[in-house]
Amino acid sequence: MLRLLGLLGAACLLSASASGGGHSHEQAAVRDFYHLQSTLECRAWGELLSKKGFQIIDPFGSDPVTDLAKAVAGCEAAPKTFSKVSLSATNVVVMADGSAAAANFHVGSVTTANCTLDFDGIDTFEFDDASPPRIKGVVGYFNATIPGSQFNCHPK
């Protein structure tokens, strides 16, 4: 039964993806979620988050970030750790009803110690009912040992 429900869900995802789904605001919000962090436009990035409350769990299993000031401050602190921030959505699929999306993402950032973070993952997004919709939830799925080991490199 669960497999059947999963297949039905996949059909909804595919129909939204194949038709474009008419969800340009959701697509743009997801792509901007990565772009604005990469360009350190942190206040604009914060504007993507729901005014009714949000949570970012990144990576999955970590404590959620639910405070806008702390989320924006984390973005603004990136130059202390990274000489290059590069985050991008490589594929975004929005649910047919526009309530959620999933994105494949790539990180290609460089730390101030000249260590390269180069890994991929998947983020899931939930949207509120505002117009345009804002992000009310993000969960990041990736193997955290990969950036953990890349972060602690020993450049020559």
Helix/strand/coil percent split, the chain, to 5: 40, 30, 30
Q: Is 0.75 topped by the overall pTM? A: yes
**Which helix (H) or strand (E) covers residue 103, if one does?**
strand 100-111
CATH annotation of 2-151: 3.10.450.50
DSSP 120: E
Is residue 87 classed as helix, strand or coil in its secondary structure? Answer: strand
Q: 13 vs 25, which has greater pLDDT?
A: 25
Would you say the C-alpha torsion 142, 89, 57, 127 has a positive or negative sign?
Answer: negative
**Which helix (H) or strand (E) covers residue 88, if one does?**
strand 87-94
In tens, the pLDDT along 33-75 reads 999 999 999 999 999 999 999 999 999 999 999 999 999 999 9
Distance CA 148, CA 145 (A): 5
Q: Where are the domains of the chain?
A: 2-151
Residue 152 confidence (pLDDT) = 85
Assess whether pLDDT exceeds 50 at residue 4. Answer: no
